[in-house]
A and B are shown apart, each in its own frame.
Chain A
C-alpha cells in the first residue's frame, strides 16, 4: 500500500518536469534577453498576463509569453496553484530539492492551534527552560555559518513602495496601484 503510494508520487513528480510551470504576471515588467537589468528589452509583459515559467537565475526567471521568451524579475511572477512546485521558485527548485515523500504529514491526529487554545494557555516554565537550553551564542552561530559557507553581506533595508500603503488605510493592498 505504502509502496504503491510512493510509486504513484514518484510518477507524479517525474510527469511534472520542473520547466512546465505556468504563471501569472503580478506586475508589468520588461522581457529581457538576459538575466540582468542591463540586458536589452525585447518586449513588455503586462500584469495579469499568463506566462510559461522556464528557468531561474538569481533574482530573474525566464518566461515565455505570446511566443516570445525572455527574463523578468522573479517577484513579478506568481505561479498557478495547479503547478506541483507550488510557485515559481518552488517549481524551479524541483530539480534540486524535490518534495520528500517521507515528509507527508499524517492526517490522523491533526493538532491545530486556535485562538481559544491560545487564550486559555497557561504559563509553562519547564518548556521555557528547555527553550533556553537550545539557545545559540554568537560564536556558535558564526561557526555554524562558516560550516555552511555562508558569508554576511551588506544589504540596505527596503522601504515600502508608497507611503500610502503603510499604516492608516489598508483597504486596497496593492491591486489598483499603477506600476512604475
Chain B
C-alpha cells in the first residue's frame, strides 16, 4: 500500500503535475517569520498593479504554482527582454507587423484570446522558435526564411502558442527554480519583484535553451495543427515545416540547439501521425497563403 503510494507520488512528480502541496505548508511557516521587506516596484518593466502585491505573495505564487495572470506576464516579460538582449528584433517593421497579425489571428482561436500576445522575428540564422509565459513568442530569421507559406508561419506560431496555453515553461520554472528562488529570498538577497522573477528564471534567457519533456513538444505540435485548422489555414503546414527541418543534417550548427531541446522532427511527425489518425478526415481544405508570406526587405 505504502509502496504503491510512493510509486504514485514519484510518477506524479516526474510528470510535473504536483503543485507542491507539502512545500506549501513549509512555505507558510517560513513566510510567517520572514515576510518583512516591502514590495518595491521593479526597474524592469512590470505590468501595472503588480507592484502593490506583497513580495511574499508573488514568491509563494511562483513556487507553488498558483501564479496569477499578472505574475505570469511579468515572468514572460523578463524572459522576453532577456532573449531580446541576446538576439534583437529584425529591423523590418513590415515583417514584425505581419507576423503579429498572423499570430494574433491564430491566438484568437484559443481559450486565451485576450492575453496580450506578442510575436517577434529575432536576428539569428539558427532555426528555432521560442515561447515565454504570458504570450511572448519568437522565431528566428533563419526559420522564417525556411517558410514557404503563411500557413507554415501560422503552424509554427501555433506550436509556440500551445506552449503558452498549457503553461509548459511556467511549470518547468516552478519545478526547477522554486528552490533557488527560495534560497535567494531567505538570504535577503532578493530586494524586489524583478529580482525575484530573475531568480526564478535563472540566468538570462537560459530557460528557453532548456528542453521541455517530449510529451510537451508533442502536445504543442498537436495544438499547432489544430489551431492552424481553426484559423482557416492548411492544417498540414506545420508537419511540412517539421519534415523540412528533419532533412537538415544533424551536424548543421543552425539546428544544434533545436535538436538538443526537441525530439527529432521524424519522431514528432510519427507522434503527430498516430495522434491525428482519422480525426481530421472531415476537415475542409485550409488556405496555404503561399503568395501571402511577407518577404524580408
Q: Which of A59, A74, A79, A170 has the most CB of B within 10 A?
A: A59
CB interface residues, B 168-226, toward A, < 8 Å: 203-206, 208-209, 213-215, 218-219, 222-223, 225-226
Q: Are the CB atoms of A131 and B232 closer together than 8 Å?
A: no
> In which size bucket is the chain B interface?
35 or more
Is B19 located at the chain interface by the 8 A CB criterion? no
For the complex formed, measure the closest distance between the CB of B70 and the CB atoms of chain A, giving whole angstroms: 16
Residues of A within 8 A of B50 (CB): none
Residues of B within 8 A of A81 (CB): 246-247
A154 to B296, CA, bound (A): 33
Nearest CB in chain B: distance from A45 CB, A: 14
Whether A167 lies near B213 (C-beta < 8 A) is yes
Bound: A174/B120 CA distance, A: 33
Q: Are A118 and B223 in contact (CB under 8 A)?
A: no
Are B275 and A59 within 8 A (Cβ)?
no
Question: Which residues of the other chain, B, contact A37 by a CB distance below 8 angstroms?
Answer: 278, 281
Give CA–CA (A129, B275) in the complex, Å. Answer: 40
Q: Tell yes or no: B295 within 8 A of A by CB.
A: yes
Residues from chain A with Cβ under 8 Å of B279 in the complex: 156, 158
Is A20 part of the contact surface with B, judged by Cβ < 8 Å? no
Give the residues in chain B near A149, CB-CB below 8 Å. 232, 287
| Contact across chains for B215 and A170 when beta carbons are under 8 A apart | yes
Total A residues in contact with B, Cβ cutoff 8 Å: 81
Given contacts A120-B204, A128-B80, contact A27 B125 (CB under 8 A): no
Instruction: Decide: A127 and B84 in contact? CB cutoff 8 A.
Output: yes
Whether, in the assembled complex, B74 has its beta carbon less than 8 Å from a beta carbon of chain A, the answer is no
Given contacts A122-B85, A125-B81, contact A140 B104 (CB under 8 A): yes
Residues of chain A contacted by B104 (CB below 8 angstroms): 135-138, 140-141, 144
Is residue B277 within 8 Å, beta carbon to beta carbon, of the partner chain? Answer: yes
If A59-B280, A125-B45 touch, does A150 touch B232 (CB 8 Å cutoff)?
Answer: yes
Question: Which residues does chain B contribute within 8 Å of A132, judged by CB atoms?
Answer: 118
A113 contact from B89, B124, B226, B266, Cβ within 8 A: B124
For window 130-175 of B, CB contacts with A under 8 Å fall at 140, 142, 145, 148-150
Contact for B275 among A122, A150, A152, A158, CB less than 8 A: A158
Q: Chain A binding site: helix, strand, loop or mixed by DSSP?
A: loop
How far does the alpha carbon of A144 sit from the alpha carbon of B291 in the complex, in Å? 15
Contact check, A115 vs B257: say whether CB atoms are below 8 A apart.
Answer: yes
**B14 pairs with A127, CB closer than 8 A:** no
* A120, chain B: closest CB distance, angstroms: 6
| CB of A58 to closest CB in B, whole Å | 5
Query: How far, in angstroms, from A127 to B79 measured CA to CA in the complex?
Result: 12
* Closest CB in chain B relative to A28 CB, distance in Å: 11
Which partner residue on chain B sits nearest A130 by CB separation? B89
- The answer to whether B85 touches A121 (Cβ under 8 A) is yes
Could you tell me the distance in whole angstroms from the C-beta of A14 to the nearest C-beta in chain B? 18
Q: List 17 A-B contacts (CB under 8 A).
A: A75-B236, A78-B243, A114-B257, A121-B204, A122-B85, A124-B82, A127-B81, A127-B84, A132-B118, A134-B120, A145-B105, A156-B279, A157-B222, A157-B226, A160-B275, A161-B271, A168-B11
Chain A residues engaging chain B, CB cutoff 8 angstroms? 26-27, 36-37, 58-59, 73-76, 78-79, 81, 86-90, 93, 96-97, 99-100, 102-103, 105, 110-115, 117-125, 127-128, 130-132, 134-138, 140-142, 144-145, 148-162, 165-168, 170, 173-175, 177, 179
Additional A-B contacts beyond A115-B206, A125-B45, A155-B280 (6; CB < 8 A): A27-B270, A89-B243, A110-B254, A142-B108, A144-B105, A153-B230
